[in-house]
Structure formats: structure tokens, C-alpha cells
Amino acid sequence: MKKWFPTTILTATLILTAQPIQAATFTDVPPTHWAQIAIDTISSRGLINGYPDGTYRLNEPVTRAQAAKVVALAINAKPTATFKPSFQDVSPAHGAYDHIRALTELGIFTDGEKFHPNEPLTRAQMAKILTLGYKITVDDNDLIKFQDVIKLNQNYGYITTLAELGITTTLPGGMYKPNDIVSRAHMAAFIDRTTKFDLEREKGVIYYDKARRMYMDKSKPDPMPPVINDLDNALKTIDLINEKRKQLGIKELIHDTDLSAIAKAKAQDMANNNYFNHKSPTYGTIDKMLNTLNYKWTAYGENMARGYIAPESVVKEWVTSPNHRANIENNKFTQIGSGYATDAKGKTYWVHLYVSK
């Protein structure tokens, strides 16, 4: 497991020291600030201190190089003597070179021509490096979802995993804002929460239950995973559509999980924004949505419904409507995606996407 013995490094913008020290008192961090305890904890471990003028600069962005230093020190990651990354924009003279090298060797950063050390770290990137750095198990139970993070997002699993563990405290169903920049205040909070999780896991208080595909905390009442009715309902409608096509001698549609992620996003968007239309105020028309999310298609169809409780009732309504039935029985469509969502008042929204590739 991880040990907390960081090496000694000093830069002009981010001071990192190996010696345990008393938590610094930063002139711009009031005792009432939400991240004050986390900042004190991190600084007392010597992971991140302030600037020569005595400030911490709460809202200043954390760069990718600075984040590499903090995480590498936190997990005691050190590179082997022979590993050399391919980055052309990070020389051995760079203050964070060995930390970047260590995390790249571990596969936390992708090796390549550019590292972009001075670019601000995004919230999505932060989720990835913490999840991989602390070796947190990522599963696909989707107990928590966000409006602006769909499964096609390459960091989807990392983001939802941190949310399930409470490392990110964004409310489920809200906006995670994956492209927003991580501030120094947020970085301290994320590192502090992840470290606490890791220490509890090391002690055996928190463990991963493979059968239930979730982390369990022995110090808390045993939670039962919520029933994911939206997924069950969405999948049931696909089965019903394929039963209908089979009866008509039409080839069954292939369930495309990427297409279902898009259908789910559309259904959730209607629930969140109280509209019922093929054109979304968020994503635009379906063809635009498919193109924006890099989904390849040659033809598409969309069926929608709202207010129906059971999968059987919504499919029955579609089958009795000529326009909706035309999509269901179109033998040129090969893929299907299904999405289901409910709004705050419990009103249901159903979306089927049919695609030819």
C-alpha cells in the first residue's frame, strides 16, 4: 500500500517538502472556508504548501505538472532508472519531471509527444489520475450519474467512481462540469478525501465487494444498491421491440450501448428541462447530437414517449402509431439504443434511437 514519505522538491510556484511540518497558516484561507481543514491536512503532510508571500491562492488553477507532483508524492510513486517518457515539452530539468515520469510509467498519464505541463488540470483529468493513482476499482454499476457526463466520455468510469465514494460531492443527477478547471482549493479537498478513503481501505474498514460491484464500509450500515429501474425499463423495451420484429420475420436489432447512452442523455435532458420534442435545446437535432458525440451512422430514426409507466405500455403505443411503427419495422435499421428518465415529479420519458451504419 501507499507510504507517506515524499521526496524533497522546491519550485517557484508550488512548494513541496519531504519533512513533516506544522500546518501553515495562510493569510488568504479563513477558518470558515470550506476547504480550510483539507488544506491544513495536506500542508501538514508536506504535500502542498503556499507561496513566499504567505498566501495559498485558493482559486488559482492547478497545472498538470503541479498535479503530477502532488499525486506522485501522495502515493509515493517513483520512476525506474531506465524509463524515459516521449514528451518533448518536459525536459529532465523540469521541476516535476520525475513525478511526471513516475505517473506516466504507471500508466496514469498517457505517454506521447506532448504532456502540456502548464495547462490547467480539468475535473475529468483529476478524476482519472486519482482513480488510477490510488488503484480504485472502477465498475459499471452506474449508481450515480451526472447530466453532463455520458458513457461516451472517456473519463465516465473515473468520474462516477469518485462520486460513488464521496470523493467528489457533486449531487447525483447534477452537473459535474468535467471540463472545468481544478483550483488549488479543490485539489486539496480531492487529495484529502482520496487519502482518507485509501487509509480506511488499508485498514480493511473499506473493501471492494466483487459480487455487488461496489465498495463497502464496515463502519456504516450495510447499504443495498438502489434498483436501477431506468436501465431495466430501457432494456425491456428493446426486448419487446425485437420480439415484434421477430414475429414479422424482420432481423432483430443489435443493442448498441453507445447509442443507449445517447438515448439516455436525450431522455434525461427532456426530464431536466421540461420539454418533449425531437430537437433538444441542449444537443440540437438528433443528427447533430450523433455527430457531436462521434457516433457513426448513415440513417436514423427516433421514437419518444412520456407519461407511460411500464415498458409494455409504451411499446404498445408505439406499435399502434403508424409513424412510430415505421421505425420499429424498418428493415434497414441494424442498431437500437434505449433511454429512460423521470423528472422531479415522477413523469417518465422514453427514447428509442434506431440507426443504420
In SS3 terms, 269-328 reads as HHHHHCCCCCCECCCECHHHHHHHCCCCCCEEEEEEEECCCCHHHHHHHHHHCHHHHHHH
In which band, very low, low, confident or very high, does the pLDDT at 160 lie, cut at 50, 70 and 90?
very high
Average pLDDT over residues 258-287: 93
- CA distances in angstroms from 281 to 174, 274, 295, listed in the order given: 17, 11, 19
Q: Are 234 and 325 in contact (CB under 8 A)?
A: no
pLDDT in tens, 88-102: 999 999 999 999 999
Average pLDDT over the chain, rounded to whole?
Answer: 87
**Per-residue confidence at 182, pLDDT binned at 50, 70, 90?**
very high
Which pTM was predicted?
A: 0.58
Write down the pLDDT at residue 233. 80
Query: How far, in Å, are 13, 118, 191, 192, 231 from residue 70 at the CA level?
Result: 13, 15, 8, 11, 38
Residue 10 — very low, low, confident or very high, per pLDDT cuts 50/70/90? very low
Site of grid cell 424498418:
330
Phi, psi of 148 (to 5 degrees): -105, 15
Domains, the chain, with CATH or none: 37-43+59-217 (no CATH), 230-356 (3.40.33.10)
> What confidence category does residue 229 fall into, taking pLDDT thresholds of 50, 70 and 90?
low
